[in-house]
Amino acid sequence: MKRKYLLYVPIVLLFAFSFAALISHYANIQKVQATFTQEARLPFRYMNRSAYLVTPDAESAGIRPGDRVDAINGREVGEDDSVLLEEFSKMRPGVPVSLSMSRALTEGDREKYEAVVTPVAIVRDLTFYSAYVVNFIFVYLLPTLCILLGFWVLFVRPFDPLAWILLFVLLGLSSLSLEIYWQSGTLLGTFHNIFFACWALAMLLFGIYFPERWTLDEKLPWLKWLFIIPLSFQMILTLFDTLRAFTGINVFTYIGPVARFYGQFGWAVNMLAIGMFFAALGHKSGVMQNPDARRRLRVLLYGTSLAITPSFLIVLYRIFTDAQGNFTEVVPPWIALVSLVLMLLFPLTMAYVIVVYRAMDVSVVVRQGLQYALATGGVRVIQFFLLLGIGLVVRWSINNYGANLGAQIGFIVGGIALVPLIDMAAKPLRQWIDRRFFREAYNAEQILSELSEDVRTMVETKPLLETVAGKIGESLHVPQVAFLLKNGPSFVPAYVLGFDTQPAVSLAADSKSIKKLSDNRHIVLYDDMTEVTSVPTVSLD
């Protein structure tokens, strides 16, 4: 086996592990979405074997925040919460439920007690249905997109370090959607714990090295190690925890104090490392000389900032206020729902920038079809969810205005009227994206096929150059095109498109520029059309 193919072995193993976790996650979809099929819920919230958001009715039954449910209706509760979910599905509003509870004591023991509580009805309003859709997007669509995109880039560019870093960025993001799997001794728990521990470090490295090394890191290379060392230690702790869960070997017997010490400030290191990702992108987007690269970095910065910032602020609020529960229980539901939907922008923005960054090479036309699909596909996704939202509003109106025929008809007619309006708005949006960010919705096969049909019967040079120049200008929206052909000892313009006057350019056949172009390398031209070390005015990179 050739050495270069050996690299595919860890890639395939990593893909198999991630894909198995994703399949296992989808196999649990009924359990994960079970809360949306329940008719009633307990008068307190319960997650990770701990009660929180305890209502006065539950307090009167003796329940306190942090208490654990050991049995429900006489059935013992295991660590996988399957018994709880079964009993929750059977609960009815106003029908008492008996609980066997326990409370941790300062000595390490647990105080057991019995409690009887009355479940409360779950209100199915617009917020409820919106939460159902958003939960599916965040818990299933986001990790699916992240895993597939990350491995697609890695399989295409297995020898590119940035492709590996991007993979761990996206796998770390997908782990945020799997926080419900907290048990270390399970496949999904292992996936979540390992890649969540890697996320901040991957974000830091991607920000420093994409698309080129950060100038601050070149001046102060030691600075990044202030983050790399503790974050690497965090990853080692996670691996030790996984080892303990699967084998029973407890390394924490020896390093427990160090692990607890790191736990006091580890969250701050992670947040600062993620902040460095945005700082690096922001600085590079302002100082890079290549306008194309600068524009794409700004798209990456704005897209990822919009995706992460709302959730980041909610996490900070939860940390500093010691609030418990998921986003919808910590902040107003509409804020939580919007922040979770925006998270989907992160992989979409990454996909756009990575594809475009790699496409803006000599073979720029090769990936135009994929670039176009990423952008216009995103518009269609927005269309889909807007139409889904209209459907939810109509359903909500039927549930709440069943006796009011006039109100029902008004909601239904309004929903139907909005459908063509959404399509009318989406079409110019797709056209604007095409003009603003893309050269044309063509892929390599289309361009080359059309071009070969046009030029295969041509025998004269001028019509051939006119056809090729026209196709390049049309496909890439390039306003000016010039072809240089050899004439004696130099290369001079043989055909130009978009110039008022023909450029007075002459490149010697033995010049560095011609040699680089002959080797399929990039050159940078300046005002005098020579290669010098000054600020470029025209870039062929």
pLDDT at 369 over 80: no
Residues 6+ apart with CB under 8 A from 250: 244
Q: What is the mean pLDDT of residues 331-351?
A: 84
CA–CA separation, 18 and 315 (whole Å): 26
431 vs 12, more confident: 12
pLDDT of residue 173: 92
Question: Given phi > 0 = left and psi -120 to 50 = alpha, else beta, which region is 331?
Answer: beta
- Class at the top of the CATH hierarchy for domain 41-121: mainly beta
pLDDT tens by residue, 454-478:
766 666 777 778 888 877 776 666 6
pLDDT of residue 289: 73
Q: What is the mean pLDDT of residues 479-505?
A: 80
Q: SS3 of 132, please?
A: helix
CB neighbours of residue 164 within 10 Å? 21
* Sign, CA torsion 89/92/93/99: negative
CA–CA separation, 485 and 285 (whole Å): 37
pLDDT tens by residue, 271-283:
999 999 999 999 9
pLDDT cut 90: percent of the chain above it: 14
Choice among 31-45, 276-290, 380-394 with the minimum mean pLDDT: 380-394
pLDDT of residue 439: 45
Domain map (residue ranges) of the chain: 1-38+123-360, 41-121, 362-441
CA–CA separation, 38 and 27 (whole Å): 19
CA 162 centroid distance within chain: 16
379 vs 396, more confident: 396
Q: SS3 of 114, please?
A: strand
CB neighbours of residue 167 within 10 Å? 26
pLDDT of residue 55: 84
CB neighbours of residue 353 within 10 Å? 21
Residue type, 375: A
Residues 6+ apart with CB under 8 A from 503: 482, 493, 496
Residue 35 · residue 21 · CB < 8 Å: no
Highest mean pLDDT among 196-210, 383-397, 522-536: 196-210
pLDDT at 195 over 90: yes
Residues 6+ apart with CB under 8 A from 150: 166, 167, 168, 169, 170, 171
What DSSP string runs through 468-493? HHHHHHHHH--S-EEEEEEETTEEEE
| Look-up of token digits 């020898």 | 159
> Helices marked H in 7-160 — which ranges?
8-27, 29-32, 56-60, 82-90, 126-136, 142-156
Residue 439 · residue 364 · CB < 8 Å: yes
pLDDT of residue 536: 36
pLDDT tens by residue, 278-329:
999 999 888 877 676 777 788 888 888 998 888 888 888 877 777 776 777 7
CB neighbours of residue 333 within 10 Å? 16
pLDDT of residue 276: 93
CA–CA separation, 57 and 113 (whole Å): 17
Query: Strands across the sheet with 490-497, in order?
Result: 481-487, 490-497, 507-508
Q: What is the mean pLDDT of residues 166-186?
A: 85
CA–CA separation, 358 and 524 (whole Å): 18
Choice among 11-20, 50-59, 247-256 with the minimum mean pLDDT: 50-59
Residues 6+ apart with CB under 8 A from 17: 191
> Helices marked H in 210-361 — which ranges?
215-219, 225-247, 252-287, 291-321, 327-330, 333-342, 345-359
3-state secondary structure 59-75: HHCCCCCCCEEEEECCE
Mean pLDDT estimate for the chain = 77
516 vs 398, more confident: 516
* Residue 219 to residues 161, 222, 269, Cα–Cα distance (Å): 21, 9, 22
In this structure, what are the phi and psi dihedrals at residue 113, rounded to the nearest 5 degrees? -155, 165
pLDDT band of residue 355 (cuts 50, 70, 90) is: low
pLDDT tens by residue, 78-129:
766 777 778 888 888 888 888 888 888 877 778 888 888 888 888 777 777 7
pLDDT at 437 over 60: no
314 vs 439, more confident: 314
pLDDT at 538 over 50: no
Question: Angle at Cα 308 formed by Cα 31 and Cα 190, nearest 5°?
Answer: 45
